[in-house]
Amino acid sequence: MINFVHFEDPRTVTEIRPIFVNHWVPNTIGNGIPAGGSVQLLAMQFRVALTERLSLIGVKDGYIWDSTNGALDTLLDDGWASVTAGLKYNILRDTQSGTIASIGGTYELPIGSRKALQTVGDGEFHLFVTGGQRLMNGNAHLMSAFGWRVPSDGFLQSESVHWSNHLDVKLTEKTYLVTELAWWHWVDSAEGGAALGVAGQDLFNLSTSDMTGKDLVTQNVGLKFKPNRKTEVGLAYEFPLTDFKDVIEGRLQTELIVRY
């Protein structure tokens, strides 16, 4: 559930995934910019198994509501999120050991609302590798993914890499305890951007010129409920672990996954 736009499940599945996020913003962000308040997102992800190994994935869309305060409220307003879609290919699947790995890529179409700080540049590519391992005879699972976000226009948007990790442990026949960890590292700033001191984590890629070398680490803790093999309901709270918080003070996320 952490880094939900870019942390991709390695499995080849057909599913829809409605997501609601309430994201709290620090009272001060970047270079002393007054902020605070929150941002809400309602989105619908999808994945379609085209073959046993190839999937079509849609990972970013939906509508953004602005409830921020301070200077951030003058920059951000309600609007549509950009749309991101691509392909994922399974390169390793060992059912006996419970090991799986996939590679893929997506492209963010610059068609979101500018007032919601979407469509900053000409779109963004995301290349990733993701894998999973069954543990404790299926009573626990580990997933890890590494991704690289490359904007089409590096003059207007920053470039970053992320490493996202997931661990779940079965509590009952239908309930799992989940904790996840995500690390962000910005490798190149937007030369033509302003000195904002923040980039926008996973939902945004702001035009900011002073992000090179910065790191953000966040963790979440939550629960997953699986009433049957085709349905999952999740709830998790995410918080920053590093002194640099970017735009996150906290995040509460709920989701429903229905597989076909």
Q: Where are the domains of the chain?
A: 15-259
Would the pLDDT of 47 be above 90? yes
The letter for the amino acid at 148 is W
Residue 230: HSE in the Cβ half-sphere, 13 Å Cα cutoff: 6
Tokens of 83: 């749309």
pLDDT in tens, 201-211: 999 999 999 99
Residues 154, 167: Cα–Cα separation, whole Å = 34
Using the predicted structure, report yes or no on whether residue 71 has a pLDDT greater than 90: no
Contact in structure between 233 and 224 (CB atoms under 8 Å):
yes
pLDDT of 237: 98
Is 31 a residue whose pLDDT tops 90? Answer: no
Closest CA to 186 of 173, 166, 165, 204: 204
- What confidence tens digit (pLDDT) does each residue in 81-137 have? 999 999 999 999 999 999 999 999 999 999 999 999 998 888 999 999 999 999 999
- Predicted pLDDT of residue 16: 98
Average per-residue pLDDT for the chain = 96
Tell me the pLDDT band of 73, cut-offs 50, 70 and 90: confident
Please report the pLDDT score of residue 70 as a whole number. Answer: 87
Q: Which CATH superfamily is domain 15-259 in?
A: monomeric porin ompg (2.40.160.40)
